[in-house]
Amino acid sequence: MSTPDFTAVAASINQRLAQIEAAQTAAHGAITAATVTAVVAAVAALLSLGGVILTAWVARRNGFIQTRATQQLKHADFRQAWINGLREEMARFLSLTAEYVVDRAKEPEVIESMAMILLRMNNRDKEYDGLIVALDEVLDAAQDRLVGKTYGEAAGDYLIICQRILKREWETTRIAMLEEPPMWGSDIRKEPDLSAPKVRMPRHLDTRGPSLAPSDSGTADVRPSAKKQGAGTTKPKAPPSRNRHSSS
């Protein structure tokens, strides 16, 4: 019986182990390459999706900014037209009252101009009450009924208030034009202030009776008078019965 060659057997085993190790290395490399390829593909897909989202967001933002800038320009145009109209009406009122001093036939035009000024104003404006006082004083001075002031002094006070109002409104328009449009449009639509304003008007326009005259608090009583409430609905009283008098 021959003795086995252990050296050859060991060499065969080592060769087989080397083949197995090489196969494992090759398989691991293939798995790693496939994993890297999948990760790269996923990252590329995410970057592509992110690029699409970013492009859409930038386009939307640019569109909003363009729209907002257009709205600001349009609003500034409307506001400037309002300021111009208010300034012209304020000057017209003063011119009409100067003519009214010598020509009483100008009274309807003076009253119309006064009403136009107030219709262009916000009755919550901090200068509103002062403007009403100035309008009344100018017209009282033109009617030679103002005590303590001449027509020129009343007109000067009126012009000072008008200058303050016009200057403030112009500054408001200028600042609004310089403001950078916001990123999103949350501030474009604002709920209007629907709270009831105080009712105040010049004495020369208060033609609806004493119930609307300014009270001690500076505001007017807007409740209709009893005469107006019953207008058209009050029935004439029946004359007293003669039988009743005779029985008493």
Tokens of 188: 């474009």
| pLDDT 10s digits, 69-108 | 788 788 888 889 999 999 999 999 999 999 998 888 999 9
Q: Is the pLDDT of residue 203 over 80?
A: no
Residues 6+ apart with CB under 8 A from 76: 173, 176, 177
CA-to-CA separations, 6 to 9, 13, 16, 20, in angstroms, rounded:
5, 10, 15, 21
pTM: 0.55
Least confident span in 107-116, 146-155, 181-190, 198-207: 181-190
Q: What is the pLDDT, as a whole number, of residue 228?
A: 41
Indicate the average pLDDT of the chain: 77
* pLDDT, tens only, 27-60: 888 888 888 888 888 988 888 888 889 888 888 8
Q: How far is CA 157 from CA 6, 96, 131, 220, in A?
A: 126, 17, 9, 24
Which amino acid appears at position 172 of this protein?
T
Alpha helices in the chain (DSSP H): 6-100, 107-120, 128-142, 151-178, 226-229, 242-247
| CB-CB contact of 136 with 111 (8 Å) | no
Question: Which residue would you say has higher pLDDT here, 233 or 38?
Answer: 38
More confident residue, 83 or 239: 83
Distance of CA 182 to the CA centre of its chain: 14
pLDDT surpasses 80 at 245: no
